[in-house]
């Protein structure tokens, strides 16, 4: 049984998509053993609690230093003994020591087609504002492994979404979630659980 910890910061719709995929068996042989959140007001916490999943909520603001928060964050994650950590709309930078402890075992969903509109400053609505400002016709979402860079780890899955002339950042964000994020994140976890994801020279191969 693959032990998965999911990290959320907001609405938790990606967590919801993972729960749906578990329910209808699109993800097999997997258990979400814990949900970590950095925001006590996040609806993602409620989703986890309603699903009976153990939660831990620690806000960086309540720690005297970022290092102390990182220590508490790593301890909280490790106590669940995960095989895989999934960042599902998680807006906290992952400490390098956790990335080194879980090489190619931390997955992130990013709401653009990496390497476009990613990196420092590109998160949440800002991604879609950048897409509209540049006038690209196609955007989408990317699931990738987390490395010590920002959105630079090996790409696992991507899915394209058309940009409409009538789009606002909000309508585009919603469509990218519905048509891409909520599909490829559960798919990537399902593939990982089946052992179908290999890494060769920092490229992901799916067999
Ligand atoms: C999503 O667009 C996600 O990609 C981004 O934050 C938005 C909300 O995610 N990081 P969720 O509803 O909290 O899963």
- Find all residues with CB under 8 Å of 120, minimum gap 6, and list them: 150
Q: What is the mean pLDDT of residues 173-193?
A: 98
- Mutation choice for ligand 1 from 12, 38, 89, CB with most ligand atoms inside 8 A: 89
Contact criterion met (CB below 8 Å) for 66 and 60: yes
Alpha helices in the chain (DSSP H): 13-23, 43-50, 66-78, 96-101, 125-134, 169-176, 182-193
- Find all residues with CB under 8 Å of 30, minimum gap 6, and list them: 1, 2, 4, 22, 189, 190, 193
pLDDT class of 21 with cuts at 50, 70, 90: very high
| Cα→Cα distances 189→45, 87, 95, Å | 20, 11, 22
131's tokens: 């897409």
- For ligand 1, atom 11: residue with the closest CA: 12
96's tokens: 């390098």
- For ligand 1, atom 4: residue with the closest CA: 111
Secondary structure class of 144 (helix, strand, coil)? strand
pTM: 0.97
Confirm or reject: Cβ of 84 under 6 Å from ligand 1: no
pLDDT class of 64 with cuts at 50, 70, 90: very high
Give pLDDT, residue 40. Answer: 97
Q: What is the mean pLDDT of residues 171-178?
A: 98
Average pLDDT over the chain, rounded to whole? 97
Secondary structure class of 8 (helix, strand, coil)? strand
Q: Is 70 marked active-site?
A: no
CB-count exposure of residue 3 (10 Å: 0-12, 13-18, 19+): middle
Taking the centre of ligand 1 as the mean of its atom positions, its distance from the CA of residue 42, in whole angstroms, is 11
pLDDT class of 148 with cuts at 50, 70, 90: very high
Confirm or reject: Cβ of 190 under 6 Å from ligand 1: no
Q: How many CB atoms lie within 10 A of CB 180?
A: 24
Return the DSSP state at 9: S
Number of the ligand 1 atom closest to the C-alpha atom of 123: 10
pLDDT class of 195 with cuts at 50, 70, 90: very high
- Find all residues with CB under 8 Å of 23, minimum gap 6, and list them: none
Confirm or reject: Cβ of 181 under 6 Å from ligand 1: yes
pLDDT class of 57 with cuts at 50, 70, 90: very high
Taking the C-alpha atoms of residue 59 and residue 206, their distance in angstroms, rounded to an integer, is: 36
């Amino acid at each position: 049984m693959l032990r998965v910890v999911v990290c959320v910061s907001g609405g938790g719709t990606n967590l919801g998509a993972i729960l749906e995929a578990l329910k209808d068996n699109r993800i097999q042989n997997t258990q979400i053993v814990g949900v970590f959140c950095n925001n006590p007001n996040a609806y993602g916490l409620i989703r986890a609690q309603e699903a009976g999943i153990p939660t831990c909520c620690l806000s960086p603001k309540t720690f005297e230093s970022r290092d102390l928060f990182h220590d508490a964050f790593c301890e909280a994650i490790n106590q669940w003994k995960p095989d895989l950590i999934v960042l599902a709309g998680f807006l906290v930078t992952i400490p390098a020591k956790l990335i080194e402890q879980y090489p190619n075992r931390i997955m992130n969903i990013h709401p653009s087609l990496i390497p476009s509109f990613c990196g420092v400053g590109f998160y949440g609505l800002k991604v879609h504002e950048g897409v509209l400002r540049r006038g690209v016709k196609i955007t989408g979402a990317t699931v990738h492994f987390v490395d010590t860079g920002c959105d630079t780890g090996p790409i696992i899955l991507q899915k394209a979404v058309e940009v409409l002339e009538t789009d606002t950042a909000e309508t585009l964000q919603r469509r990218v979630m519905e048509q891409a994020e909520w599909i490829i994140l559960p798919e990537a976890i399902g593939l990982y659980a089946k052992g179908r994801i290999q890494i060769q020279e920092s490229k992901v191969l799916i067999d």
